[in-house]
Amino acid sequence: MLLIDQKGDLIEGKCEINDSHIYNAFKEDSCYKIDGHICTAARSSGRLADHEASILIAKRAKFHPIAERHIPRFYYNFATYDMLEDREKSYNKLLTDYLGLIQTISNVYKQKDYNMMKIKLLDEQGYTVMLTLWENIAFAFNTENVIGKVLVVTSAKVTKHQDTYQLELTNTTTLQVNPPLENLQG
């Protein structure tokens, strides 16, 4: 789970699989003080947040609601094109949020034994990045009237193929066309 610490920084929270009841203790878009958590080092690869620590929430954790205040519905930490080289070469493989205008979309095609679709994104600096959608996600992506629209990609892994940066989907990646945020409409 993704949490926002008291400084406003994104931090990853986790619990053991057999402690999944902890997720039910949270109401989405609410604010809590969490006592009894354990602060641990962030995992070395596939991190969701660029934070040195993560929070382990175990059975002894206590959740205290804080009076309602404005909690952002979405949190993005967009990488610029200039940041992609470090993320591609980094051992840590920090997962990346990226924003771009949809330039082209291929049809779904078969490569070896897999179905795939390529989406070419243009960022605000004029650089292009490729996004590859595989299998069910490729078939499910709505391609109608999206050319020239903003696409937000979250929690993607950065790779490089033939001198072009690519965004690879992870199990936490989300794709949003023209999300309802100020200054993001294409």
Per-residue pLDDT tens for 165-186?
Answer: 999 998 888 999 998 776 554 4
What pLDDT is recorded for position 129?
98
Residues 6+ apart with CB under 8 A from 76: 97, 99, 152, 154
Cα separation of 177 and 186, whole Å?
9
Yes or no: say if 149 and 105 are a contact pair by the CB < 8 Å rule.
no
Q: Which of 14-28, 68-82, 95-109 has the lowest mean pLDDT?
A: 14-28
pTM of the full predicted structure?
Answer: 0.67
List C-alpha distances in Å: 96 to 1, 47, 53: 16, 9, 18
What the chain holds in terms of domains, given with CATH numbers, is 2-65 (no CATH), 81-177 (2.40.50.140)
| DSSP bridge partners of 119 | 105, 131
Q: What is the β-pairing status of strands 96-105 and 53-56?
A: unpaired
Cα separation of 5 and 138, whole Å?
35
